[in-house]
Structure 1
Amino acid sequence: MIERRGLGAFAVGTGVGSLGGLIGLGGAEFRLPFLIGLFRFAALEAVILNKAASLVVVATALPFRATTVPLDSVAAQWPIIVNLLAGSLLGAWFGAGWATRLNSATLHKVIAALLILVAIVLVFGRDPDAAGLQSVTGAALIVAGIIAGFAIGVVASLLGVAGGELLIPTLVLVYGADIKLAGSLSLAVSLPTMLVGFTRYSRDQSFSVIGRNKAFLLAMAAGSIVGTYIGGRLLGVIPERILLPLLAAILVISAYKIWRHEQPHRS
């Protein structure tokens, strides 16, 4: 039974990692509905497990991307990274604290609403030619970055995701970053942001779910890494005009199921 659950976790991790890899993300937004719906974890436990798996994926993704986007190119954009982190670190702490205080039913509804938000961003927020806020400079840009970072940090903590689905459009539309560079910059912001959220979650009793499910978590994280690699290799095979609405539809369906979910896993 334990072995089958581990194989299931690896399979799901590979599948959602491949979906995320197809659009340059880690797939955590697709992983969370499986943790709640298929594996029957309570909402907060699912978010914490998702956050742990996402940490592993993000930590491995940045070095992998160094062959495409050199790390010195990422480091050269440190003012943007610091600007977003000024808001995202606080947002991650606040979001995680909020999640631990919500009852499971309310957290299900919050997660469902945020998944729909991510679906909307997937469809409408990834056009590099869209009109952005590049004309905003100086103090106004710093304030905009902090506000955006805070909001992204809150969402990332509540869903247990890296936040790339929100960070990449922000980097492109607000800072005018190249789409490839934006992918690496998002990882540089995501990793410390996730660590802050993870630290806040570690103070809650639900954090013990990691200790009780170590093998399951490792299998899912390993599958996610494999899937992200597969998805990255297939990047561009399916046109975005078809892929993005399809993935958005998956998120909306998942959101509906999570909204109606009433029987969390009891461990």
Structure 2
Amino acid sequence: MVWWLAYIALGLFGGFFAGMLGIGGGLVMVPTLTMMFAAQAGFPAAEVLHLALGTSMAAIIFTALASVRAHHQHGAVLWSVVVQITPGILIGTLVGTLFAGSIPSKPLALFFTAFVCLVAAQMIFGLKPKPARELPGALGVFGVGTGIGALSALVAIGGGSLTVPFLTWCNVRVQNAIATSAAVGFPIAVGGSLGYIFNGWGHAGLPPGSLGYVYLPALLWLVPSSMLIAPLGARLAHRLPVATLKRLFAGILIVLAAKMAWGLFA
């Protein structure tokens, strides 16, 4: 029962910031789930990070749906961009999950931690590209989508930390960039989840209730809580001091990622 409550609390926390910042929640779910799985019996140490990545990616499917609905009600989603970028996203996520499944936990943890630190630095110092150009053509958007999808699947995020800067660089208003990123998070999560299920299918030693690298008992509690709170985060994105909350969230991310990496190596 204690772990169910922990999954619910994590879903509320990750879902709120996913809706507000358009990040999908994976940056906080992956290190936290890794530590939760490592603390429970029946989870092989070599696979706890892969299980956390797969479970987080599956949870993002539902978080993205709840978040994008709220953003769509504000008329902020650029659906033409979503349609153009989705084919590349799907290809990229499948490639990214295949690569992630072949990497041992420790190197993958180092890569994830380094990525989190870069994202956190971006949030803390407000680093963002200056609007310097327009959106590229269909082929260019497809290529960008492939890269975003691959990297997002590798670290199990909804792509917001990549999609938002790209759209901002292309002269898209910040609110529209966040809303469109939330919508793009759905195909990222679908493609990534399928990849992690495929890569972990039939893998010996996974705990009961696993569908490939997706741990269903955790997903069962993460989804309702994250879907419940994500729309609230999306609505408050238009009212609260998002820059201040980003810095606070960035500090939490660094602590969680460092603790996760320390636990895996220790």
CA RMSD of aligned residues (A): 2.9
* Fraction of identical pairs, as percent: 24
- Give the match for residue 58 of structure 1: 64
Indicate conservation of the 8 Å contact 1:122/1:165, yes or no: no
Cα displacement (A) at 1:120: 3.0
1:112 paired to 2:113 = yes
Distance between the aligned counterparts of 2:148 and 2:208, measured in 1?
24
Indicate conservation of the 8 Å contact 1:54/1:162, yes or no: yes
Distance between the aligned counterparts of 2:239 and 2:85, measured in 1?
32
- Give the match for residue 189 of structure 2: 194
Cα displacement (A) at 1:258: 2.4
Amino acid at match of 1:103: P
Indicate conservation of the 8 Å contact 2:65/2:183, yes or no: no
- Give the match for residue 153 of structure 2: 157
Indicate conservation of the 8 Å contact 2:21/2:178, yes or no: no
Distance between the aligned counterparts of 2:93 and 2:26, measured in 1?
16
Which digits, 9 at most, give the CA deviation of each residue in 1:29-88, with x for residues without a partner? 111111012342611000000011111111232223222117xx633x2xx334433432
Indicate conservation of the 8 Å contact 2:126/2:243, yes or no: no
1:6 paired to 2:4 = yes
- Give the match for residue 131 of structure 1: 130
Please point out which of 61, 71, 78 is paired with 1:74: 78
Distance between the aligned counterparts of 1:263 and 1:89, measured in 2?
32
| Larger mean Cα displacement after TM superposition, 224-233 or 6-15 | 224-233
Superposition pairs for residues 197-236 of structure 1, below 5 Å?
A: 197-205=192-200, 211-212=209-210, 213-235=215-237
1:236–1:20 distance in 2 versus 1, CA, 3 Å:
same
Please point out which of 41, 44, 50 is paired with 2:50: 44
Amino acid at match of 1:110: F
Q: Tell me how many residue pairs correspond in the alignment.
A: 251
Which digits, 9 at most, give the CA deviation of each residue in 1:138-174, with x for residues without a partner? 5xx843x344323211221012221122212211212
Indicate conservation of the 8 Å contact 1:36/1:43, yes or no: yes
Amino acid at match of 1:227: I
1:124–1:84 distance in 2 versus 1, CA, 3 Å:
farther
| Larger mean Cα displacement after TM superposition, 210-219 or 25-34 | 210-219
Please point out which of 242, 250, 253 is paired with 2:252: 250
1:67–1:81 distance in 2 versus 1, CA, 3 Å:
closer
SS of the residue corresponding to residue 28 of structure 2 reads: helix
1:22–1:82 distance in 2 versus 1, CA, 3 Å:
closer
- Give the match for residue 180 of structure 2: 185
1:18 paired to 2:16 = yes
| Gap runs ≥5 in structure 2 | none
Which digits, 9 at most, give the CA deviation of each residue in 1:203-260, with x for residues without a partner? 2226876934433212111111223234335436653342222222222222222222
SS of the residue corresponding to residue 162 of structure 1 reads: coil
Amino acid at match of 2:216: K
Give the structure-1-normalised TM-score: 0.80
| Larger mean Cα displacement after TM superposition, 49-58 or 84-93 | 84-93
